[in-house]
Amino acid sequence: LGDPHSISLGLNFLVETQVALGRHDEAIAAMRESIALCERTKNRWGMGTAYRYLGLATLAAGQPNEARAHLEKSLEIFGDAFKGWDIAQTMIYLGETHLRAGDDAQAKTTLLDSLRLARDIRSEPLILQSLAGLASLELRVNPAIAAGWLTLIISHPSALYATKKRARELMEGLSAQGESNQTLEQAVEDILRR
């Protein structure tokens, strides 16, 4: 207790709560402190994680350009040394950042990459997060398909609370409720075949 590694780890995971409570400035300050601690202790994983959460906090604060830079820095720090969950989660946040910045083409590319990686590591929660981002894009082109994906997310036991909440919010904008006759695996395969 009290060592820089433990403090930076605690700060990193506190950010999601701060963002959910709308405390963006506190979240940003906490991540800057975590980055400084990780630099001092040469904790590469902690620093990559801190930059990911700094990206999340700056995105929530309405700063997509800053968020993109922090998320790209996170991926750079993780590099080839870290694979799987950390990369997929960071890519999901980066895809969401591209969405908020209005760069739909880059958002789709990034979210498809995160979907592939999440599938490869068999992380259903991350697959569902990627799917929610893709559904927000699909709503503009094919609302019926998007509604099916959103219904799948809402009903899936592995979907995180925040992912289900987002899916419900996206569904509110639809005039017709969707039906999903697909399993999660079938939906992913259909998306990646497009």
Instruction: Quote the percentage of the chain above a pLDDT of 90.
Output: 63
Q: pLDDT tens, 161-174?
A: 999 999 999 988 77
CA–CA dist 68, 170 (Å, integer)? 23
The confidence band for 11, taking pLDDT boundaries of 50, 70 and 90, is confident
CA–CA dist 46, 134 (Å, integer)? 29
Residues 6 or more apart in contact with residue 63 via CB below 8 angstroms: none
Please give the radius of gyration of the chain, using alpha carbons only, rounded to the nearest integer.
17
Q: Does the pLDDT of residue 152 top 70, yes or no?
A: yes
Q: pLDDT tens, 33-45?
A: 999 988 988 988 8
Q: Name the pTM for this structure.
A: 0.86
Distances (CA, A) of 187 to 137, 153, 180: 15, 11, 9
64 phi/psi in degrees, rounded to 5: -65, -35
Which amino acid is present at 23? R
Q: pLDDT tens, 57-80?
A: 999 999 999 999 999 999 999 987
